[in-house]
Amino acid sequence: MAWTKQSLKKLVAERLSDYQFILVAQAEPYAHFYAKDSIKVQRGAGGVITAMEPIVKLIHGLWIAYGRGNADKAVVNESDRIRMPPVRSSYTLRRIWIAKRNVLGWYYGFSNQTLWPLSHSVFERPAFSKQDWDAYVEVNRQFADAALAESGEKKSIIWLQDYQLALASRMIRERNPDLIIGQFWHIPWPVADIFKVCPWAKDILEGMLGNQLIGFQRIAYCKNFLSSVAKTLEAKVDMDAMTVTYNNRITYVRAYPISIDYQAIASSSAKNKKFGKSYITRNLTGKYDFLSLGVERLDYTKGVLERIMAIDRFLEKYPEYIEKFVHLNILVPSRTLIKRYEELDRDVETLIENVNFKYATAHWQPIHVIKEALRPQLVNNFYKSANIAQVTSLADGMNLVAKEYVAAGPDDGVLILSDQTGAADELTDAIMVNPYDIEQLADAIKRALDMPKDERKARMQKMREVVAKQNVYRWAGKFLTDIVDLKTVPETLTQSDTKP
Ligand code: G6P
C-alpha cells in the first residue's frame, strides 16, 4: 500500500482514536524570542522537527519540549501550553522549563558532548562527566514527569524522540506500566565496543528498555544496539527476531527509515515562480553557470571542511570551472556554547577565506555562505535553483536534506551523497561518495557536471519515485501500527521466555 496523509489519517481514526498522542522531544518546533519592540517566533532546525511536525499536525497531538526561547514563558498559558504552528494551528506545544545548570549538563553536556560524538563515531572524543550525567538524569525525570502528568488516567501513546531522552521510558514505565511507550533514535548507534566505553552504558540501556518498541534508521544500528545490550546486560537478546527480554518485559527493535512530506515539499517548490537564478546572482553570488548547494547545521559530523577541501581540489584540477562554478552553503549555527562547535565555525570560515582568496577573480568567488536558519520555503527555493546538492556527512542517522533536494530540486539536478548517511540505502541513483576521500569528492563534482541531461533526469526521476513512496507518513504509519500491535505482547510472555 502506498502511504499518504489520508491513509495515516485513516489509521489514526480506525486504530488510534482511543489514545491520546503525546510526543516527547528535546527540540521545540518553534521558539519565541524578544526582538526590539515585539516577540518573534523562530522555527527550530534539524531532522526531528522536519519529520515530526507533519505527523503531530495530522494527529492533533501534544508535543512536550524544552522551552529554549527567551520569550517562551511570556507567550504560553497558565499550563505552559501554546497552540502551534503560529499560522493555522493544529496541535499543542507544552513547554517545560529547565534550570540553566541542567541545560548546560543535560543538553550541552551529556547529550551533545557525550552521546552525540559517541553515537556518530567520527573520531571526536566524547566527554564523560559525572556532573553532566547527573543533569541528564534529572532532566529526563522532568520530561518523564511531564509525560505522566499529561497522560493522566487516559490511554496514551507516548512517543519519545532521540538521544537526549534515553532514560525517560523506564522512568515513565515504572510509574505507569500500562502506557504504550516507544522511542525513535534519530542518530546512529555505534558498534558495541565503542558504546561500552561509556561509564553509564548499563544505565542508558536499562533506561531505553522501558520502551515496547525502539526504532532506528538502519538495520545496522538495530544490530549494534542489540549487541550492546547482549554485551552489557543480563538480558535475553534474540538477534533474528530483534527483541530484548529484560525484567519480564519485551522490547522490539526495528528499522524505520525516516522521511519527509514529499508531496508538500514538491508542490511548494513547484508553486514559487519568482525566486530563481536571477535572485541568487543579484543578492548572493554574482554570475555563475553551475550552482552547487549544501544545507546543514554547523556540526562536525556534516563533513563541511572536507567538502570545502574538495571544492579547492576540484578547481585546482579543473580550472576551466573558474568563474563558472559556485558553491553556496547554508550553515545553521548550532550548539554554539560548545567549544568544539565554536572552533569548527572558525575553521570553516578560515578555510573558505583561503579557498576564495586562491581562486577569486574581480567579480567572482567560488564559495558563498548564508549563516542562519532560513524558513523551509526559502530553503526549498534554493534547492530548486541548485544544479547539484552535496550531502557529504561523515556519519548520519538519515539526513533528510538529501530527500528534500530530491523533492524540491530541478528535474535534472544531481545529488552527491555520502555513503555514511541513512539516505544512501534508498537513494542509490545519487553519486555515492566516501565523505573522507577528498579526491573522490572533487571528481564527483566533475562527474555531476559532465553527466548528460537524460541521465540526470532519469536518476532524479527514480529517486523521486523512491521518496514519494517512502514518505514520512509511511514511516509514522509503520511505527504506530507496530507499537499498537505489539502492546499486548508483554502479557503473553511465559517464564521460560524471560530466562537470560
Ligand atoms: C539532530 C538531532 C536532533 C536535534 C537536531 C538539532 O537532528 O538528531 O535531536 O534536535 O539535530 O539539534 P539541536 O541541538 O540544535 O536541537
**Per-residue pLDDT reduced to its tens digit, 222-273:** 999 999 999 999 999 999 999 999 999 999 999 999 999 999 999 988 887 7
Using CA atoms, how far apart are residues 285 and 492, in angstroms rounded to an integer? 63
Q: Are 3 and 53 in contact (CB under 8 A)?
A: no
Inside any domain, residue 224? yes
In this structure, the answer to whether residues 177 and 200 fall within a common structural domain is yes
The per-residue pLDDT for 271 is: 84
- % of residues, the chain, pLDDT over 90: 93
| Crossing angle for the helix pair 472-485 and 47-59, to the nearest 10 degrees | 70
Ligand 1 pocket test target in 42, 50, 183, 186 with most atoms within 8 Å of CB? 186
Inside any domain, residue 1? no
Inside any domain, residue 167? yes
The answer, yes or no, to whether residue 331 has pLDDT greater than 80, is yes
In this structure, the answer to whether residues 343 and 481 fall within a common structural domain is no
pLDDT interval class at 491 (50, 70, 90): very low
Residue 445 is part of a domain; what is its CATH number?
3.40.50.2000
The answer, yes or no, to whether residue 488 has pLDDT greater than 60, is no
Using CA atoms, how far apart are residues 28 and 146, in angstroms rounded to an integer? 15
pLDDT interval class at 487 (50, 70, 90): low
Whose C-alpha lies nearest to ligand 1, atom 10?
27
For the CA of 162, the closest atom of ligand 1 is 9
* C-alpha angle 223-229-233 in degrees, rounded to nearest 5: 165
Using CA atoms, how far apart are residues 214 and 498, in angstroms rounded to an integer? 19
Task: For residue 336, give every residue at least 6 positions away whose Cβ sits within 8 Å of its Cβ, in sequence order, or none.
Answer: 342, 345
In this structure, the answer to whether residues 241 and 289 fall within a common structural domain is no
In this structure, the answer to whether residues 292 and 153 fall within a common structural domain is no
The answer, yes or no, to whether residue 65 has pLDDT greater than 90, is yes
In this structure, the answer to whether residues 297 and 344 fall within a common structural domain is yes
Residue predicted with more confidence, 21 or 493 = 21
In this structure, the answer to whether residues 167 and 180 fall within a common structural domain is yes
The answer, yes or no, to whether residue 195 has pLDDT greater than 80, is yes
Q: Which residues of 370-408 are buried (b: 16+ CB within 10 A; e: fewer)?
A: beebbebeebbbbbbbbbbbbbbbbbbbbbbbbbbbbbb
In this structure, the answer to whether residues 309 and 406 fall within a common structural domain is yes
Q: What is the pLDDT of residues 468-478, one digit of tens each?
A: 999 999 999 99
In this structure, the answer to whether residues 368 and 436 fall within a common structural domain is yes
Interval between CA 212 and ligand 1 midpoint (Å): 24
Tell me the Cα Rg of the chain.
23
The answer, yes or no, to whether residue 77 has pLDDT greater than 80, is yes
For the CA of 186, the closest atom of ligand 1 is 8
Using CA atoms, how far apart are residues 24 and 96, in angstroms rounded to an integer? 11
The answer, yes or no, to whether residue 200 has pLDDT greater than 80, is yes
Helix (H, G, I), strand (E, B) or coil at 356: helix
Inside any domain, residue 499? no
For the CA of 111, the closest atom of ligand 1 is 14
Report CA torsion sign: 254, 259, 262, 264.
positive
Inside any domain, residue 399? yes
Using CA atoms, how far apart are residues 62 and 354, in angstroms rounded to an integer? 48
The per-residue pLDDT for 275 is: 87
- Range with the poorest average pLDDT among 9-18, 104-113, 194-203, 253-262: 9-18
Closest CA to 67 of 59, 54, 76: 76
Q: Which three cell numbers stand for residue 259?
A: 522521511
Interval between CA 416 and ligand 1 midpoint (Å): 23
Helix (H, G, I), strand (E, B) or coil at 372: coil
The answer, yes or no, to whether residue 57 has pLDDT greater than 70, is yes
Which amino acid is residue 462, in one-letter code?
Answer: K
The per-residue pLDDT for 495 is: 38
Whose C-alpha lies nearest to ligand 1, atom 11?
46
Q: Are 29 and 63 in contact (CB under 8 A)?
A: yes
Mean of the pLDDT values across residues 387-392? 98
What range does the domain containing 444 cover? 262-470
Report CA torsion sign: 456, 458, 461, 463.
negative
Q: Are 305 and 351 in contact (CB under 8 A)?
A: yes
In this structure, the answer to whether residues 91 and 37 fall within a common structural domain is yes
The answer, yes or no, to whether residue 498 has pLDDT greater than 90, is no
Q: How far is CA 455 from CA 24, 49, 177, in A?
A: 43, 34, 55
Inside any domain, residue 3? no
Whose C-alpha lies nearest to ligand 1, atom 6?
46
- Please count the structural domains in the chain: 2
In this structure, the answer to whether residues 109 and 153 fall within a common structural domain is yes
Closest CA to 64 of 106, 104, 34, 20: 20
For the CA of 107, the closest atom of ligand 1 is 14
Task: For residue 85, give every residue at least 6 positions away whose Cβ sits within 8 Å of its Cβ, in sequence order, or none.
Answer: 29, 30, 53, 57
Mean pLDDT of the chain: 95
DSSP state of 127: P
Neighbouring-strand partners of residue 332: 297
Q: Where are the alpha helices (DSSP H) in 42-105?
A: 47-59, 72-75, 100-102
Which residues surround ligand 1 with Cβ inside 6 Å? 27, 45-48, 162, 186-187, 334-335
The per-residue pLDDT for 492 is: 40
The per-residue pLDDT for 273 is: 75
In this structure, the answer to whether residues 95 and 184 fall within a common structural domain is yes
Inside any domain, residue 500? no
Q: Which three cell numbers stand for residue 217?
A: 534508521
N- to C-terminal Cα separation, the chain: 39
For the CA of 45, the closest atom of ligand 1 is 6
pTM, 2 dp: 0.95
Whose C-alpha lies nearest to ligand 1, atom 16?
27
Q: Which residues of 292-303 are buried (b: 16+ CB within 10 A; e: fewer)?
A: bbbbbbbbbbbb
SS (H, E, C) 447-487: HHHHCCHHHHHHHHHHHHHHHHHCCHHHHHHHHHHHHHHHH
Q: What is the pLDDT of residues 270-313, one digit of tens each?
A: 887 778 999 999 999 999 999 999 999 999 999 999 999 999 99
In this structure, the answer to whether residues 100 and 207 fall within a common structural domain is yes
* C-alpha angle 155-229-490 in degrees, rounded to nearest 5: 30
Using CA atoms, how far apart are residues 175 and 145, in angstroms rounded to an integer? 10
124: left (phi over 0), alpha (psi -120 to 50) or beta: beta
- % of residues, the chain, pLDDT over 70: 97
Using CA atoms, how far apart are residues 434 and 440, in angstroms rounded to an integer? 7
Q: What is the pLDDT of residues 405-416, one digit of tens each?
A: 999 999 999 999
Closest CA to 182 of 16, 370, 377: 16
Inside any domain, residue 497? no
Q: How far is CA 429 from CA 363, 389, 426, 456, 480, in A?
A: 35, 13, 9, 9, 30
The per-residue pLDDT for 93 is: 98
Interval between CA 112 and ligand 1 midpoint (Å): 9
Whose C-alpha lies nearest to ligand 1, atom 14?
335
